[in-house]
Chain A
């Protein structure tokens, strides 16, 4: 019988990483040169290539640093091309290139994986899509968080100023349930051909469930989702962006009634919004530039204000199990770039 690794050595190495300030709070896998070389061997990209830069703090991330952080996050080497694609996708977000990581909003990346790589690497594509339990989903998302902390140097209470942050920060990596989705994969909306392994990413302010399982009418479901999207608490600018991660049951019900993904987006753009009176009660009826503020003027009380300006502001993904009609509204921080990045080796 092979002896188990020395737990005291392992504990000492883990504590060493904590002492350096590298950890997000959970134990890290101590990275060594041979391990990181296995990561670098999965990509043809030069280890010195800069894959992200935060000008205001004078820091950047290279392929090499991404590999060290991915190893520490607990990724297997073969996940590394997905980490790189996820990071590339995030760097296409204006907020992620700017002040988003420092924001009081404390936004969380939402990573969406499409294509054969989901099954090749063992991503969870079914129940518990947002939840823990699966190494690829958990560690790819965590790797992004460690890159922000370590390579960009954005640490909580210092350059990171999240007021409360949000549940799921550094842990949301969905693999779309393409097999039970009635619609084309999300990566197709991001400009990739169907069947290609690709990653999309944006930043979220929160996730809010819509549980609606006792109606046969798809418009009931859409109205329920529209009510959640239109919540005044989330409105701070003139426009907003809110995606929907549909469960397979809701998606299939809508598709069965003839709704394409574009139809659902158009329906939500039309129906999501609030009256001026609702907004005034919440102190958000006035506009100064694009920011909402409390205006005593009641003349707009009767006007319905729509809040989703384009279909890109309503990204739609299908994820989770087909065992209940529970979907998730995902509140986008800023706006999604509208592009997906191919996973390349």
Chain B
């Protein structure tokens, strides 16, 4: 055959950037005295969900307080200055809620970005988006990156149901932030 069939993906040229394995931050022994960063992505119920997770971490696990910030563009990774601000002001990070095609992937990407900045992170995604969250982790050089899931759907939950969900996911969040690898 005189000519090969051409590859339309261009991945041989661009894959180099993702070959190195993304760093994972050292885990904490516990959350006593920590400030918990809450990176809220504006999806319906994300703010009350993360607020409640933060409140429970303070009440039950000795965190000192929370610092909540909102990511305006849920589809894109958090901007660098926001990552920097939260890295400076927080000890651990919760991101979410990954509840759509692009925002689940980017919630995980944000978690990985904070890991690289040295902060243990726990992304929370709806379980309907696990495949896309895993695909993003792989793209970011962190195949198998662990995150917490909550059953789909999240957007329709009442305030009381959101609190129940936050309580249900708390153990997984603690395991993600404090369990040594």
Interface residues of A (CB under 8 A from B): 13, 16-17, 20, 22, 30-34, 36, 55-62, 64-65, 68-69, 71-72, 98-100, 102-104, 146, 150-151, 153, 157-162, 288-289, 291, 293
Contacts of A33 in B (CB 8 A): 3-4, 6
Contacts of B131 in A (CB 8 A): 157-158
Tell me whether B44 and A293 are in contact (CB under 8 A).
yes
Known pairs A99-B103, A103-B102; A13 contacts B5 (CB<8 A): yes
Q: How far is the CA of A102 from the CA of B10 in the complex (A)?
A: 19
Q: How far is the CA of A105 from the CA of B169 in the complex (A)?
A: 28
Tell me whether A146 and B8 are in contact (CB under 8 A).
yes
CB-CB nearest in chain B for A106? B101
Tell me whether B100 and A153 are in contact (CB under 8 A).
no
Is B60 an interface residue, CB under 8 A from the partner? no
Q: Which of B42, B44, B100 has the most CB of A within 10 A?
A: B100
Is B66 an interface residue, CB under 8 A from the partner? no
Tell me whether B105 and A102 are in contact (CB under 8 A).
yes
Q: Main secondary structure on chain A at its contact with chain B?
A: mixed
Known pairs A55-B77, A58-B139; A103 contacts B7 (CB<8 A): no
Q: What would be 21 A-B contacts, judged by CB atoms less than 8 Å apart?
A: A22-B7, A32-B3, A32-B4, A34-B3, A55-B76, A56-B77, A56-B109, A57-B105, A64-B10, A68-B6, A69-B8, A98-B76, A99-B74, A99-B102, A100-B102, A104-B101, A150-B10, A153-B11, A158-B132, A158-B135, A160-B101
CB of B14 to closest CB in A, whole Å: 6
How many CB-defined contacts (below 8 Å) exist between A and B? 109
Interface size on B, residues (CB 8 A): 34
Contacts of A158 in B (CB 8 A): 131-132, 135
CB-CB nearest in chain A for B75? A99
Contacts of B5 in A (CB 8 A): 13, 16-17, 30-32
Tell me whether B76 and A56 are in contact (CB under 8 A).
yes
Contacts of A62 in B (CB 8 A): 10
| Shortest Cβ-Cβ A-B pairs, 7 listed | A99-B75, A99-B102, A161-B101, A102-B101, A102-B102, A150-B8, A32-B3
Tell me whether A161 and B10 are in contact (CB under 8 A).
no
